[in-house]
Amino acid sequence: MPMDATELESNLSLFEDWEERYHYLIALGAKLPPYPEEYRDDQHKVEGCISQVWLRPVVLDGDPPRLEFLGDSDSAIVKGLFAVLRILYSGHTPEEILAVDLEDFFRRVGLEQHLSPNRRNGFFSMVEEIRRTALVVQQS
C-alpha cells in the first residue's frame, strides 16, 4: 500500500534535524518510478523552477476520475519534494486534490522554515500545475 499524507507527516517528524529530513526527501525522490523520456519536453516542463522539473498528469478511468502524477527533476531535493506532492495528490479525485490545505501541511512538517525561497517557489509551481490539472479534469 502506498504511503499516505499521515504516514509521510509521521515519518518526517521522526527526524530531529533538517539534514536528516533532507536525506529522507532525497531517498523518497530516488524511489519514484522512472519518468518516461518522451515526456521530458517543454510541454511537461514546470515553469517557475530554477531546476529542470517535468510533470506529467495521468487521468485514471473511473467515476469519478482520479489523477496520477509522474515527475522528475535534475535536483535531488526537488525530486524529493515532488515525491511529497505525489504522495499527497496521486490517486485522488480532482475535488480531493483541490481540497488539500498544502500550506497547513507545509507548516506542520516545518518545510516553510527549511526551504530556500527558490525551492519554495519551485515547489509551489509544481503545486499550481497539479491544481490546474485538477480544475481542468473537474470541469470536463
Round to whole Å and give the CA distance between 82 and 51: 12
Residue whose entry in the numeric block shows the C-alpha cell 480531493? 96
Instruction: Clarify whether 47 is annotated catalytic.
Output: no
Round to whole Å and give the CA distance between 15 and 63: 39
Catalytic residue among 25, 28, 46, 49: 49
Round to whole Å and give the CA distance between 78 and 82: 6
Active site residues: 49
